[in-house]
Structure 1
Amino acid sequence: MASAHAIAAAPGRHRERGRIDDASRVAVLATAALCLLPLLLQMPAGLAVLVAVTAIVMAAVSWRRPMPGPLRLLLVLALIGTVMTMTSFSFGRDTGCALLAAMIAAKPSETYTLRDARSLLGFALFAPFATFLLDQGPLSLLLAMGASLAVLVTLQRLADVEAGDPGGAPLSWRRLVAVGRLCAIGLPLALAAFWLFPRLGSPLWGIPDRVLARPGLSDSMRPGEWVDLMADDTPTLRVKFFGATPPTSQMYWRGPVLWDFDGREWTQPRWLRGLPPATVEPATRGWDYEIEVEPTDNRLLVSLDLLRAAPDGSRLAVDHSLFSPRSLTSLTRWRMQSAPPARYDADLGAVLRGRALALPEGFNPRTRALAEQWRRDAGADDAAIVRRALDWIQREFAYTLTTPLLGRHSTDEFLFDYKAGFCEHFSGSFVVLMRSAGIPARVVTGYTGGYYNRIGDYWLVRRSDAHAWAEVWLQGRGWVRVDPTAAVAPERIYDTLADRAPGAGGLLGGLANVTPALELGDWLRRGWNDFVLGFDADRQRRLLKPMGIERLEPRQMILLFALAASIAVLWMAWLSHRGERERDPLLRAWHRLDRRYTRLGLGRAASETVGDWNRRVAAARPDLAPELNELSQRFVEWRYAGTQAGPGGPQRLRDLIRALRRHRPRPQRIPGEHR
């Protein structure tokens, strides 16, 4: 009766019905937080703080007693509403990830039993996997791997608690070794799947676009909105040249071309993207290069001015803007050839000419008056008007990022009142001035310059290198690039990128000082891109090229993967068989004792109880019975009577394991035998 009562009160079973101990609950909540961390780092700061604070509040409020169901439901609905409000009720990958993080943050309010804890850990594992929908960088991978390992260790702790083990430190050496063994068993199959599982050249289905897009170039430009972009030191392009390299002053990375102006905002007409690219007569020299584009979540590409032909998988518009047919949600590489134009669209059509001269009525009267005066002075000499505007900028204008938001007549205010700004002010106002003088003009956006990474022998272009310049159409030459920002006299360059974002290399002569550490870090990131993210279907088929196999066909890839997977499975089976011993040290010691008796022909049968076994051994070997009976009784009491919860339990367990290991039954001696 007492034994039955002890078994019913066994700690593992009691905890299954009731709350887990505080130390285990802390370990579970800490592991869930670790799972959330990589996802929070990819979310907007406001959303990330909201989710983190919610998780802390939920865990603290419901620590001692469950939160009432109606209140919990109300808080969850309020959290969902807040997330949807912050994402403007738009659905995309980032919205889904934010809702997932919010649900995980609310889950601690109902985590009390072992079942609740396992449910939270399983749910929390979705967070690091969802992170790869937003970012596939090495940091996200390392954090996700750390979170997954922490989940395995914590699950092992919960299993120990359920078995009656008090648990001990969450990161005990025994648990780490057990989790490491599991990872070592599965690693070969995972590597075989990554390198050899046949990949499709294009996905069977897409994933939703992001609602909160990354900062970067777009097909519109408003005064002042580029300040944050130009202060962002994040890499956007890496360029590898094959052969000649243009001087930094000629590295204009052409992006969207803006034609339409409504008085405040410049935009690119979508219908122009469907027209074939304008005729270009390239100069004799040119450049061959490969661009590695970081994910941008839009379809805009850039190329060195001026691209000769669209690379495979992209499309050139009439103004030589370059587009991808799909959103650039992952790292992409593009091989390109460019050359400066000798003549570019020398025969401008009437429709495009009208578009390049259009201005809204009722805006910027002073600019119009000045342009008309210049036209009367210059006559038909358009180039003279361009030179006069650049001379004016050099004499009187200054470069600064500190410019107040301009009003209705933004060009008038910039040209006549402030005379200070940055590239978007200079380019937009210059184009308005040219159009007012009857010269077709347009705004070109993109990047300029770059930083040469000596370790990797490539050029790095950052978001802070974002730039806008102008193109004017001149008779006999066609479109000609004019950069009014570069005309600013050096002594009037004030608040620059170097002052705000050290590390950016841009228009104004390499103002940044990229340290060797940053240079090494970006080289390592490029290696990650090349080794992992850039391993696509084409590179997979060329995997055995160094061995003389030019290209693997799909059938060969399947056979190769099947072979590698079979070897990996055999490896897993061998390791599993080799390490199939129980993780419980007491059971290991008990089964070793059984094997010693088996060598004497007295091993315990699978269907034999401990008592029957002891009686059979006592009948055959009375000399072994006393010690075996004593050890068996201690083992049964520890395993099934719940005595491990008493005082001194860990020490008694260690003593029992040592006693089982020391017991060595000797073979029965034959009378008259001499050793």
Structure 2
Amino acid sequence: MAEPTSPLLSPSARHWTLASAALGLVPLLLQLPDLLAAIIALVAVLIALVSRQRVLPAPLRLLLVLGMLAAIYWQMGARPGRDTGCALLAAMLALKSSELRSLRDARSLLGFALFSPFAAFLLDQGPSTMALAVLAALTALLTLQRLAQAEGQAPTPPLGGQIRGVGRLIALGLPLALAGFWLFPRLSEPLWGIPERAVGKPGLSDQMEPGQWLDLMADDSPALRVQFFGPVPTPQQRYWRGPVMTYFDGRVWEQDRSALGRAPPEVTHGATRWDYQIDYEPTDRRQLVALDLPMQAPPGSELGADHSLRSQASLTALTRWRLQSAPATGYVEDLSPYQRRRALQLPQGFNPRTATLAHQWRSEAGNDDEAIVRRAMAWIRARFAYTLSTPLPGRDGVDEFLFDQQAGFCQHFSSAFVVLMRNAGIPARVVTGFAGGTRNRYGDYWVVRRMDAHAWAEVWLPGRGWVRVDPTAAVAPERIYDTLEDRLQVGGDATLESRWAQLGQASDWLRRGWNDLVLSFNATRQQQLLRPFGVDKLEPAQLIGVFTLFALVALGWMAWLLARGERERAPLLRAWHRMGQRYARLGLARDHAEPAGHWARRVHQQRPDPALLSLSSRFVLARYAGADVDLTSLLRDLRRHRPSSGASP
């Protein structure tokens, strides 16, 4: 038996379907590379316009699929990842409208489109993505409701009535969803890992190579937010220590992997202590930062021999870390022969002019390492400039920077300084991380942005140990120590720039609130959910019990709401039944299978009432004959009608 064909879409239904699919596509496109997102959006619009009259031929659709795959490969390469899969989903959704003809096609497109906003959560879990996803889901429900009415050939109610219908659906499932989010027991460790991204976000790495940081230093999105509990470090102390680079091949600096598995050397900390909490934005990597120097590794991380922190799991989502740091006043032990060799390592045959200058300074300074450091800093302060516009270095990049260009940014300064020190026989290394931070006046916390990425140097000085030296700060202290808050105080609160900055701070404060309420709600916070009520910690069995209780309440709410909706599905029928109940109390109840007109005539014989006969006729015409009856007046009359007081004949 042939399957019945699905009704064709009306122009209005087609427009609603395409608009809903577009809204579902938007949050996903915003997380993809800009050029790829623009290509997918353009293809989606063109296909929707071209396929209005007829379905695109199969060869053309196949060609479009191949073109989309080529665009994704061009932008992301052949490496699989979360964003690659999301890009494929977006591309297929953009092509799906080429088959949009019938109600079945529309439902298929909407079901496919609902995957899109929720796939976007794999790439970003911020409030803007959430708002767009909710908007897309609500619009899809509205459209599905209109498609159901079109299929049943029912009149389309006003938009307000449609919105109320969608609101009832949301009220049906929201309590159970909230109970699942807040109370369903969470695992401290996920059962499976999330695939990495094919196109990584700019962030700190265990390598530093020329030109690598230009994208990072142009990105003003937050890298971390910091809440201090007690004293706040001064700008000169706000160095957020990340990966430490020791090995140099003449072009690329790399972290000493062996340092990750060794305990840090014992140091003497100063009297100053900083207690703080870091909310670290996802990077899909494992590198963490802390103020110089972290005193111990927080749970879930490791502290290496170079005092750099590393997470035990990839930072695929927002994470929160509680740390304590204190500056070091000295190192208890001297460098071992192995550590000294690592801190003096240089490739053979590179940067001869730098080596010559360093040897000259060593011969003039004798054993005074601090004099060489001071001389290098004075030279840099007097002769060098800060700029992001620098050409990529050649083979002897340090020579080119020190003697030819004498202008660059932190990568150039830190790398050249360490090479110069090593040539002079002073153990040195490059430290990467962030510098500075901006205080949010609304939330009283500090925001460190990706563009605050910084690299500086550390040199080993006898009797002192590792000492931070920042040649970039000697050239451009405003790049390191100046903050947005300082500029606002100089510019005044009336400038357009300051007002825009205040709006940005308010937006970030809201984002932090979202992070605190939703994204950082982990297993530990869930176990402490009832602490305000005197329950210190909920064990897993207790959580299951509380969740079961709330889930049963939510299911009861769903059952009551469904029953109420069933009762209220036909207001006309409900009004007719209520009128019949008034006659039932007089012993004139309608039989179960008795037609409305037959019952009215039977009642009229016993209690003459022409109004009842008229009402039953109007009810039958409206309910079963589909006649054009004034439903408003009919409902009013049914609700007002009362049995006549006339006696039976």
2:292 is aligned with 1:305:
yes
2:363 is aligned with 1:376:
yes
| Equivalent residue number for residue 568 of structure 1 | 554
| Equivalent residue number for residue 531 of structure 2 | 545
2:119 is aligned with 1:127:
no
* Structure 2 counterpart of 1:112, one-letter code: R
| Equivalent residue number for residue 517 of structure 2 | 531
Q: Give the alignment of 1:136-147 within 5 angstroms.
A: 136-147=125-136
Q: How much has 1:634 moved relative to structure 2?
A: 4.8
Secondary structure at the residue paired with 2:625?
helix
Q: How much has 1:75 moved relative to structure 2?
A: 1.8
| Equivalent residue number for residue 327 of structure 1 | 314
* Cα 1:606–1:106 shift into 2, 3 Å: farther
* Cα 1:616–1:62 shift into 2, 3 Å: farther
| Equivalent residue number for residue 326 of structure 2 | 339
Gaps of at least 5 residues in structure 2 are: none
1:57 to 28, 46, 49: 46
1:431 to 408, 418, 427: 418
2:22 to 25, 33, 37: 33
Query: How many Å separate the matches in 1 of 2:101 and 2:595?
Result: 37
Q: How much has 1:610 moved relative to structure 2?
A: 5.8
Q: How much has 1:631 moved relative to structure 2?
A: 4.2
2:266 is aligned with 1:279:
yes
Q: How much has 1:257 moved relative to structure 2?
A: 0.7
TM-score (norm 2): 0.91
| Equivalent residue number for residue 87 of structure 2 | 98
Query: How many Å separate the matches in 2 of 1:389 and 1:227?
Result: 26
Superposed CA deviations along residues 93-118 of structure 1, whole A, max 9, x for unmatched, are 11111111111111111111111111
Identity %: 56
| Equivalent residue number for residue 337 of structure 2 | 350
Secondary structure at the residue paired with 2:124?
coil
Check whether the contact 2:605–2:648 (CA below 8 A) recurs between aligned residues.
no
1:226 to 192, 213, 234: 213
* Cα 1:612–1:382 shift into 2, 3 Å: same
Query: How many Å separate the matches in 1 of 2:62 and 2:245?
Result: 49
2:400 is aligned with 1:413:
yes
Count of aligned residue pairs for this structure pair: 634
| Equivalent residue number for residue 649 of structure 1 | none
Check whether the contact 1:104–1:123 (CA below 8 A) recurs between aligned residues.
yes
2:218 is aligned with 1:242:
no
| Equivalent residue number for residue 662 of structure 1 | 637
Q: Give the alignment of 1:139-178 within 5 angstroms.
A: 139-165=128-154, 167=156, 172-178=159-165
| Equivalent residue number for residue 101 of structure 2 | 112
Check whether the contact 1:83–1:98 (CA below 8 A) recurs between aligned residues.
yes
Check whether the contact 2:390–2:408 (CA below 8 A) recurs between aligned residues.
yes
Check whether the contact 1:256–1:300 (CA below 8 A) recurs between aligned residues.
yes
Check whether the contact 1:38–1:143 (CA below 8 A) recurs between aligned residues.
yes
1:629 to 614, 617, 637: 617
Secondary structure at the residue paired with 2:84?
helix
Superposed CA deviations along residues 163-197 of structure 1, whole A, max 9, x for unmatched, are 2135377xx00000111122123222222222111
| Equivalent residue number for residue 385 of structure 2 | 398
| Equivalent residue number for residue 578 of structure 2 | 595
* Structure 2 counterpart of 1:588, one-letter code: P
Query: How many Å separate the matches in 2 of 1:672 and 1:447?
Result: 95
Query: How many Å separate the matches in 2 of 1:285 and 1:213?
Result: 37
Q: How much has 1:88 moved relative to structure 2?
A: 1.1
Secondary structure at the residue paired with 1:259?
strand
2:362 is aligned with 1:387:
no
Q: How much has 1:615 moved relative to structure 2?
A: 6.5
| Equivalent residue number for residue 454 of structure 1 | 441
Check whether the contact 1:589–1:661 (CA below 8 A) recurs between aligned residues.
no
Secondary structure at the residue paired with 2:32?
coil
Query: How many Å separate the matches in 2 of 1:489 and 1:42?
Result: 34
Query: How many Å separate the matches in 1 of 2:315 and 2:154?
Result: 51
Q: How much has 1:628 moved relative to structure 2?
A: 2.6
Query: How many Å separate the matches in 2 of 1:45 and 1:155?
Result: 31
Q: How much has 1:337 moved relative to structure 2?
A: 1.3
Check whether the contact 2:618–2:634 (CA below 8 A) recurs between aligned residues.
no
Secondary structure at the residue paired with 1:301?
coil
Check whether the contact 2:402–2:416 (CA below 8 A) recurs between aligned residues.
yes
| Equivalent residue number for residue 315 of structure 1 | 302
Query: How many Å separate the matches in 2 of 1:143 and 1:271?
Result: 45
* Cα 1:605–1:139 shift into 2, 3 Å: farther
* Structure 1 counterpart of 2:513, one-letter code: G
* Structure 2 counterpart of 1:295, one-letter code: P
Secondary structure at the residue paired with 1:216?
coil
Check whether the contact 1:614–1:629 (CA below 8 A) recurs between aligned residues.
no
2:71 is aligned with 1:71:
no
Q: How much has 1:223 moved relative to structure 2?
A: 2.1
* Cα 1:405–1:606 shift into 2, 3 Å: farther
Superposed CA deviations along residues 394-445 of structure 1, whole A, max 9, x for unmatched, are 1111112222222222111111111111111100111111111111111100
Q: How much has 1:342 moved relative to structure 2?
A: 1.7
Q: How much has 1:626 moved relative to structure 2?
A: 5.4
Q: How much has 1:344 moved relative to structure 2?
A: 3.4
Secondary structure at the residue paired with 1:637?
coil
* Structure 2 counterpart of 1:481, one-letter code: R
Q: How much has 1:551 moved relative to structure 2?
A: 1.0
* Structure 2 counterpart of 1:532, one-letter code: V
Query: How many Å separate the matches in 1 of 2:336 and 2:39?
Result: 54
Superposed CA deviations along residues 337-359 of structure 1, whole A, max 9, x for unmatched, are 11111223742122222222122
1:362 to 342, 349, 352: 349
Secondary structure at the residue paired with 1:198?
coil
* Cα 1:620–1:33 shift into 2, 3 Å: farther
Gaps of at least 5 residues in structure 1 are: 1-12, 644-651
2:451 is aligned with 1:468:
no
Q: What value does the CA root-mean-square deviation take over the aligned residues?
A: 2.8
* Cα 1:564–1:152 shift into 2, 3 Å: same
TM-score (norm 1): 0.88
2:9 to 2, 5, 20: 20
* Structure 2 counterpart of 1:600, one-letter code: Y
Check whether the contact 1:367–1:433 (CA below 8 A) recurs between aligned residues.
yes
Secondary structure at the residue paired with 1:433?
helix
Query: How many Å separate the matches in 1 of 2:217 and 2:457?
Result: 18
Secondary structure at the residue paired with 1:580?
helix
Superposed CA deviations along residues 484-517 of structure 1, whole A, max 9, x for unmatched, are 1111167xx8xx6999xx95989xx999968322
* Cα 1:612–1:485 shift into 2, 3 Å: same
* Cα 1:138–1:436 shift into 2, 3 Å: same
Q: How much has 1:62 moved relative to structure 2?
A: 1.2
* Structure 2 counterpart of 1:72, one-letter code: R
Q: How much has 1:303 moved relative to structure 2?
A: 0.6
Superposed CA deviations along residues 296-326 of structure 1, whole A, max 9, x for unmatched, are 1100000101111111110011111110111
* Cα 1:29–1:276 shift into 2, 3 Å: same
* Cα 1:547–1:489 shift into 2, 3 Å: closer
Check whether the contact 2:600–2:616 (CA below 8 A) recurs between aligned residues.
yes
Check whether the contact 2:7–2:151 (CA below 8 A) recurs between aligned residues.
no
Segment drifting more, 520-529 vs 598-607: 598-607
